[in-house]
Structure 1
Amino acid sequence: MLSYPFMQNALMAGAMIAILCPIIGIFLVLRRYSMMGDTLAHSSLAGVAIGIVVGISPTLSSVIFTTLAAILIEFLRDRFKRYAEILMSVVMTLSVGIAIILVSSGQANTNINQYLFGSILTVTRQDLILVLVVTIITILAVSYFYNELIYTTFDEDGAHISNIKVKRVNYIFALLMGLSISVSIRITGVLVISSLIVLPVASAMQFKKGFRQTLFIAVVIGLLDIMLGLIFSYVLDSAPGGTIALMSVITMVGSLLLNPFNK
């Protein structure tokens, strides 16, 4: 299996996504913004459709549109805190509407399925480089703003009182979310990316460890889900994205049933 270049690329891409998604996902889950992953995933699909219609790189247009959507959500959330979930639904509906109109027009149906369902087995070296760059940027940014992100995640009001620039931290995190999701959907697909963001983190939280330990466990679980998903998809000749999603669910159920610390 490893003798095939496409499998080597898939495994390397999967490993980076398994690191990238839980880093973003743990903050989303703790902030109770799990739905934002779905919202930005659907926004990225609209970005892909726009790129195909305009005639530019779908990945580039996806990165631009998704990061703008993430920043827009944060802008609206900051001004209408009571309606955060409704605002995310509005942005997601807007994005889906744009994507459906462009796809149904026949101008953006080329290769749209590989972004919808993922195409990890067709990952190129250019895709790997892009994911690697975003992964490095995300790790460095989270490391640099680690304390501010932690404080803002658990107590935003307290962070304000402590003179932490909460708006800046939130906008930086929104930018990282947009970048991470937009580069990941080419590999995992719109329908799978949210499972890789949320489920490994949710599984890791069942062990009731500290923040750093939970993040480490989430990355390990993400790696396990993706690697086993790729192996089983190769053996069973099934869709990699769907197989990875099923592995995420199986791991989540297993952590709920087998964790001796879970009550």
Structure 2
Amino acid sequence: MDLLNYAFMQRALIAAVVVGLTAPAIGTYLVQRRQAVMGDGIGHVAMTGVALGFLFHTSPVWMATLVAIIGAVGMELIRSRGKTSGDIALAILFYGGMAGGVMIMNLAPGGSTANLTTYLFGSITTVSQQDVTAVLVLAAFVLAATLGLRRQLFAVCQDEEFARVTGLPVRALNLLMAVTAAVTVTVAMRIVGLLLVSAMMVIPVAAAQRVTRGFTATLSLAMAIGVVVSLSGTAATYYIDAPSGGTIVLLAIAVFVTTTALSTPLARRRAKAARAAEVVCTRDDVKVQ
């Protein structure tokens, strides 16, 4: 494969694998909590961080991580209060982050909205060695949290009150999920883009749910789908000169459509097997009587 002869493609493929693992890993919990759009909101806020990175001549990835974490914690605090004004506050936070990013980018020396575009939609040619290092460090945190604490996080996603009764630190775990989602957004923005990263958190999980039963199976399959579509999409952009983020997301949608088509006959077989088992149980009850 000639694409492996180029250093920028090697870096892009490494980043793609990391994105494929991390985005569905945290996305599984967000989908479980019906917070599928949280990644999209964090992406809007992270735009301000990217712009601040250009303004202060620091790494846009690390600055976006810091701002995204602050924004995600704010979102979680608003959500936990459960007030009716929460939706308005979140909307202001989301769109304020986007507007702030555009304005700050124009103030940055040599900055322009063209620089911001590569972070909004992803660009494999601009992934530097420093970006790869940052992505690997951040991804290690995401995977450690989502896999190492999967039982605790799942319990909180299922029933916060029950988790609190059992002694779990619910607020701390909720904040950890918010921070992990923020970190995942900045991990994925160089390949998928801030505006499309939410799709990689949700679509592989939705596809996996069509053909699996159980949380662990869904998590594992979602991560596998994420890696496959991220690698395939990144490789495809080298040959067809297409945007990496859009290509990856479209491939993920194709997988979702495929698993949805396969799940229909699978569901029918399961229903048939369940009815057969019910008939057998009924006959056994009759014999006992």
Aligned counterpart in structure 2 of residue 200 of structure 1, from 200, 204, 208? 204
The letter for the 2-side match of 1:118 is G
Decide whether aligned partners of structure 1 residues 262 and 47 sit closer, same or farther in structure 2, where only a CA change above 3 A counts.
farther
Matches for 1:74-153 after TM superposition, within 5 Å = 74-80=76-82, 85-103=87-105, 108-109=111-112, 111-153=115-157
Unmatched tracts of structure 2, length 5 or more: 269-289
Q: Higher Cα Rg: structure 1 or 2?
A: 2
Partner of 2:159: 155
Q: 1:129: Cα distance to partner?
A: 1.7
Matched, 1:37 2:42: no
Larger mean CA deviation between 227-236 and 216-225 belongs to: 227-236
The answer to whether residue 176 in structure 2 is matched with residue 175 in structure 1 is: no
Aligned to 2:266: 261
Paired residue type of 1:193: V
Kindly tell me the number of residue pairs found equivalent between the two proteins: 263
Do the aligned residues in 2 keep the contact of 1:145 with 1:169 (CA within 8 Å)?
no
Q: In the alignment, what sits opposite 1:223?
A: 227
Partner of 1:71: 73
Q: Is the 8 A contact 1:118 1:185 kept in 2?
A: yes
AA of the residue aligned to 1:163: G
| Cα offset, 1:162, TM superposition | 1.6
SS of the equivalent of 1:2 reads: helix
Asked if residue 245 in structure 1 is aligned to residue 253 in structure 2, the reply is no
Aligned to 2:194: 190
Matched residues, percent identical? 31
Q: Matched residues in 2 for 1:146 and 1:213: separation? A: 12
1:89 Cα offset (Å): 2.3
Deviation string 1:178-199 (CA, Å, 9 cap, x unpaired) is 1111232122211221111110
Cα deviation, residue 42, structure 1: 0.9
Tell whether the 8 Å contact from 2:139 to 2:187 is kept in structure 1 after alignment: no
Greater shift after overlay, 27-36 or 73-82? 73-82
Q: Distance in 1 between matches of 2:31 and 2:54?
A: 33
TM (norm. structure 1) is: 0.92
Separation (CA, whole Å) in 2 of partners of 1:139 and 1:231 = 24
Q: 2:70, 2:240 → 1: CA distance? A: 39
| 1:53 has 2:58 as partner | no
TM-score normalised by the chain length of structure 2 = 0.84
